[in-house]
C-alpha cells in the first residue's frame, strides 16, 4: 500500500477520505496517514484520522508522499498547490471503482478526483487537479482545463470546451458545442445553452452572467 494524505479536512476532505475507503474496499491501495489543514490544529482527529500539520509542512516531507487536494473552489485549489514546492509531493488520480470511463482517447491529468457515479465517455481531455463530485456525466469530444471543479450531478454534453479554473454548481447542465471561459462560475441548477465569457458568475435557466470578477 502507498501512503496518502488529504489536503484540507473540511467537508470535501472527509468525502475524499470516504473515496479512499471505497477504493481500498476493492483493492488495498492507499494507507491514509491523515490530513494537512491550515485551520484545524495538528493532532485533531477528523473522522478517525489526525491532522498532521499545516499545508506548509508538506514542503518539509522527506520521502515521496501521495496527496490529494480536497478543495472545490478552483481559485483556492490553485493557491494551495502553488504553495507546495516539494518535488516529493505527488498527486495521483483517484477514481471511485464504479466510475465509467470510455476506452477511447480519454486522458486525465495528475491530481484528478472522480467520486462515485461519474460517467466520462470518449475522446475527452481533462486537465490536472479537476474534481468531479458525485454523479456527473461528460460527453464526447469535450476538453476540460486545469483546476476545474464539478459539483454533484453536473451534465456536460459533447464538444464543450471548458477552460481552466471553472466551477460548476450542483445540477447544472451544459449543452453541446459551447465554450466556457477561464475562471467562470456556473450556479447550481443553471442550464448553459450559450458560450460564457471568462471570469463571470452565470446563473439561471438559461444561464446569464450576473457579475464579473478578477482573473484567477
Ligand atoms: C452561483 C453562486 C456561486 C453565486 O454565489 P455568490 O457569488 O455568492 O453570488 P450571490 O449569492 O451574491 O448571487 C448573485 C445573484 O445570483 C442569484 N443566484 C445565486 N445563485 C443562483 C442559482 N444557483 N440560481 C439562480 N440564481 C442564483 C442570487 O439570487 C443573486 O441575485 P440578485 O443579485 O438578484 O439577488 C452560488 O449561488 C451557487 O449556485 N453555488 C453552487 C453551490 C454548489 O453547487 N454547491 C455544491 C456543494 S457539494
| Top mutation candidate among 170, 174, 196, 203 for ligand 1, by most atoms within 8 Å of CB | 203
Give the N- to C-terminal CA distance of the chain in Å, as an integer: 37
Q: How far is the CA of 189 from the centre of ligand 1 (A)?
A: 10
- Which residues are tagged catalytic? 140
Q: How far is the CA of 134 from the centre of ligand 1 (A)?
A: 20
Taking the domains of the chain in order of start, what are their residue ranges?
A: 2-92, 95-204
Instruction: Give 116-122 contacts, CB < 8 A, sequence gap 24+.
Output: 116/19, 116/22, 121/158
Instruction: Give 11-16 contacts, CB < 8 A, sequence gap 24+.
Output: 12/70, 12/71, 12/72, 12/131, 12/133, 13/37, 13/46, 13/70, 14/46, 14/47, 15/70, 15/115, 15/133, 16/68, 16/70, 16/94, 16/113
Tens of pLDDT, residues 18-77:
999 999 999 999 999 999 999 999 999 999 999 999 999 999 999 999 999 999 999 999
Tens of pLDDT, residues 151-203:
999 999 999 999 999 999 999 999 999 999 999 999 999 999 999 999 999 99
Q: How far is the CA of 16 from the centre of ligand 1 (A)?
A: 25
Nearest CA to ligand 1 atom 27: 203
pTM above 0.95, yes or no: yes
Domain at 95-204: CATH architecture? 3 Solenoid (2.160)
| Top mutation candidate among 18, 131, 187, 204 for ligand 1, by most atoms within 8 Å of CB | 187
Q: Which CATH number fits domain 2-92: 3.40.50.20, 3.40.50.150, 3.40.30.10, 3.40.50.2300?
A: 3.40.50.20
Our measurement of the distance from residue 152's CA atom to the centroid of its chain's CA atoms, rounded to an integer in Å, reads 11
Amino acid at each position: 500500500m502507498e501512503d496518502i494524505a488529504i489536503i484540507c479536512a473540511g467537508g470535501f476532505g472527509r468525502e475524499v477520505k470516504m473515496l479512499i475507503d471505497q477504493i481500498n474496499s476493492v483493492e488495498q491501495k492507499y494507507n491514509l496517514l491523515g490530513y494537512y489543514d491550515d485551520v484545524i490544529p495538528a493532532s485533531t482527529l477528523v473522522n478517525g484520522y489526525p491532522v498532521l500539520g499545516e499545508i506548509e509542512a508538506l514542503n518539509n516531507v522527506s520521502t515521496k508522499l501521495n496527496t490529494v487536494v480536497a478543495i472545490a473552489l478552483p481559485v483556492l485549489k490553485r493557491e494551495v498547490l502553488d504553495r507546495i514546492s516539494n518535488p516529493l509531493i505527488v498527486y495521483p488520480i483517484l477514481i471511485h471503482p464504479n466510475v465509467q470511463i470510455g476506452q477511447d482517447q480519454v486522458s486525465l491529468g495528475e491530481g484528478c478526483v472522480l467520486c462515485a457515479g461519474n460517467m466520462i465517455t470518449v475522446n475527452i481531455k481533462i486537465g490536472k487537479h479537476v474534481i468531479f463530485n458525485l454523479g456527473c456525466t461528460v460527453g464526447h469530444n469535450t476538453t476540460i482545463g486545469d483546476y476545474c471543479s464539478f459539483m454533484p450531478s453536473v451534465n456536460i454534453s459533447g464538444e464543450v470546451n471548458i477552460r481552466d479554473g471553472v466551477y460548476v454548481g450542483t445540477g447544472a447542465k451544459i449543452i453541446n458545442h459551447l465554450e466556457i471561459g477561464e475562471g467562470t462560475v456556473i450556479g447550481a441548477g443553471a442550464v448553459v445553452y450559450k458560450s460564457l465569457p471568462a471570469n463571470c458568475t452565470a446563473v439561471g435557466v438559461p444561464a446569464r452572467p450576473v457579475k464579473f470578477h478578477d482573473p484567477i
